[in-house]
Amino acid sequence: MDNSKLVILLKTLDSKELRAFKDFVASPFFNKNEELILFYAYLKKIAPEFPLKKIQREAVYKAVFPQHSYDEKHLNYLMSFLLKLAEQFIGYQKYTQDGILPEYHQLAATIDRDLEKSYANIYSKTQQKLHQKPHRGHNFYYQRYLLSSIANTNFLKKKIRKYDKNIQEASDNFDVYYLCKKLKYACEILDRQKTLSVKYELKLIEELSVYLAQQPHDTIPHIAIYHQIYLTLTQTDGDKHFVQLKKLLQENGDKIELNERKQMYYYALNFCVRATRHNEEKYLEESLELYLNGIKSGLLFENNHLSPWTFKNTVKAGLRLKRYDWTEQFILRYAQDIAEEFRMNALNYNLADLHYYKKDFQVAQDYLQKVAFTDIFYTLNSKMMLLKIYYETNEEEALYSLVASFRVFLKRNKLISKTVRDAYLNFIKMLQQLMKRESKSLATLKQSMTNLPALTSRNWLLQQIQKIK
């Protein structure tokens, strides 16, 4: 039973939820099968560890029904029905915790049954509950829309011919909710398309951009912030929008829910990463500052773990700023905060990068050999590092071989976006020209490197030209 859907789900419940699910299973409203009560009582005893010896099918059945011989079909039946109850339970838990959604349906029911006094009482309490919410995100405005909408429904049922504010409030709140969500989806789509070779449609976004230019909604943090993120992703003058984005994030952090704030923060970071990739070195300090603030505050942690990519990007910023001692201390200090399944890969790759920057090429290669290519970006970055090492150590045979295989890999892998692919293919093209070491054409080559819009490791290539001179 260890890998069954039932046990996998039960492992996600904390101690409070395990106790609540016991009451849920014991409630005749949800379950009238007493065998399921006995079955769950045993599973609860061995939760959350579910020792392998005690979760074997025969062992479970014997513990629940000691007077009966093992019945596979009966156990499957019990597991299936308890799973359905568990799925209902987590759905019910989510529903009851979803702001005013339960109260919204209660209000709808009182309107259907003409329970005006109950309606008035529930409405007053729901309104107070909503006003006490500290965050003003898209979900807040959606719930304000729900409350205004149900109030309008109640007004219409009375058939009174006079002005009622609720329909206007419902429309206004729905507009704000829509703008928040539409901008958020637009930013997610644009950000993905800059990384992966995927295509999405962005409908109505141009019309919304015109509208927001005229009606900026600066008093609503989510709209103001996502609008600036959208502009950093679409406008050539992204610098000024990045400055405004940082300002808005600093001023409105306490008004935004943690997960939402984290997403917004990553957009600011991604802007810095892309800017430095396009040779805008001034953003190295910006990105390092953002990463460190996010790590120290815990904002960039996911389920108490540091993402290997956040870790890698922080290391890269430190290395490019030539803070080698600081970077080594950071690697050794924060590698332990990466989830165990990613930790060794992240540690080995980033130690390889550190030693590459310090020109300890053999040590760097030793660490690279320990990196498992389980992710496309580890693969790309590791191959790039090896190309540079082979070039700088004059290992021509290994260099030519890797250039050929890397080019094939880039052209065949469909997960790599065109922008990323072009940047790497252009690097290979420039490297091959550089390998000829013809001083008479170096000026032309340097001009090509400077002018290419998509070129990874541009500074490294330009540094190699200076060495030939």
pLDDT at residue 116 in the model: 95
Classify the C-alpha dihedral 27-33-37-43 as positive or negative.
negative
Which of these, 275, 187, 177, lies nearest to 227 by C-alpha position? 187
Residue 161: CA count within 13 A, CB half-sphere: 0
Task: Provide φ and ψ at 66, rounded to 5°.
Answer: -65, -20
Residue 158 pLDDT > 90, yes or no?
no
Contact assessment for residue 332 and residue 350, using Cβ atoms and an 8 Å cutoff: no
What is the model's pLDDT at position 122?
97
| Residue 280, burial from CB neighbour count under 10 angstroms (0-12, 13-18, 19+) | middle
- DSSP string for residues in 277-298: HTT-TTHHHHHHHHHHHHHHHT
pTM of the model: 0.74
Single out the residue in 96, 116, 134 at which a domain terminates.
96
Q: In the prediction, which pLDDT does 217 show?
A: 85
Q: Where residue 36 falls among pLDDT bands split at 50, 70, 90?
A: very high
Point out the least confidently predicted range of 9-23, 63-77, 385-399, 405-419: 405-419
* Integer Cα distance of 392 and 390 in angstroms: 6
Mean of pLDDT values over 5-19 = 96
More confident residue, 276 or 226: 226
SS3 of residue 451 by DSSP = helix
Reply yes or no on whether the pLDDT at 69 is more than 70.
Answer: yes
Residue with tokens 């729901």: 126
Q: Which of 54, 74, 96 is the last residue of a domain?
A: 96
Q: How many domains does the chain have?
A: 2
Residue 366 falls inside a structural domain: no
Percent of the chain with pLDDT strictly greater than 70: 98
Q: In the predicted model, what is the mean pLDDT of residues 24-45?
A: 96
Q: How far apart are CA 428 and CA 435, in angstroms?
A: 10
Contact between 341 and 317 under an 8 Å Cβ cutoff? The reply is no
The amino acid at residue 345 is: N
The pLDDT value given to residue 244: 94
Report which DSSP code applies to 302: E
Q: Which of 214, 211, 246, 255 is nearest to 228 (CA)?
A: 246
Q: Mean pLDDT across the stretch 4-16?
A: 95
Task: Assign 106 to helix, strand or coil.
Answer: helix
Judge whether residue 469 has pLDDT over 70.
no
When the pLDDT of each residue in the chain is averaged and rounded to a whole number, the result is: 91
409 occurs within a structural domain:
yes
**pLDDT per position as a tens digit, 106-124:** 999 999 999 999 999 999 9
Given a cut of 90, whether residue 94 has pLDDT beyond it is: yes
> Residue 206: is it exposed, middle or buried by C-beta count within 10 angstroms (0-12/13-18/19+)?
exposed
Kindly state whether residue 79 falls inside one of the protein's structural domains: yes
Is residue 323 pLDDT above 90, yes or no? yes
| CB 99 within 8 Å of CB 139 | yes
In a domain, 309, yes or no: no
β 305-306/301-302 pair status: antiparallel
The burial of 283, by beta-carbon neighbours within 10 Å (0-12 exposed, 13-18 middle, 19 or more buried), is given as buried
Q: How far apart are the first and last CA of the chain?
A: 69
Q: Is residue 14 part of a domain?
A: yes
74: CB partners within 8 A, 6+ apart: 61
Give the pLDDT score at 377.
85
Residue 279: which pLDDT band, with cuts at 50, 70 and 90? Answer: low
Residue finishing a domain among 37, 66, 96: 96
pLDDT at 440: 61
Q: Is 55 a member of any domain?
A: yes
Specify if 131 maps to a domain: no
Residue written as token pair 């329970």: 115
Domain range for 399 is 376-469
Tell me, yes or no, whether 31 lies in a domain: yes
Rounded CA-CA distance 301/297 in Å is: 9
Q: What does the pLDDT average to over 283-309?
A: 91
Q: Could you check whether the bond before residue 221 is cis, i.e. omega within 30 degrees of 0? A: no
Residue 280 pLDDT class (50, 70, 90 cuts): confident
Is the separation of the CB atoms in 25 and 31 below 8 Å? yes
Per residue in 422-466, pLDDT (tens digit) is 999 999 999 998 888 765 678 888 888 988 888 888 889 999 988
Residues 365, 386 contacting (CB under 8 angstroms): yes
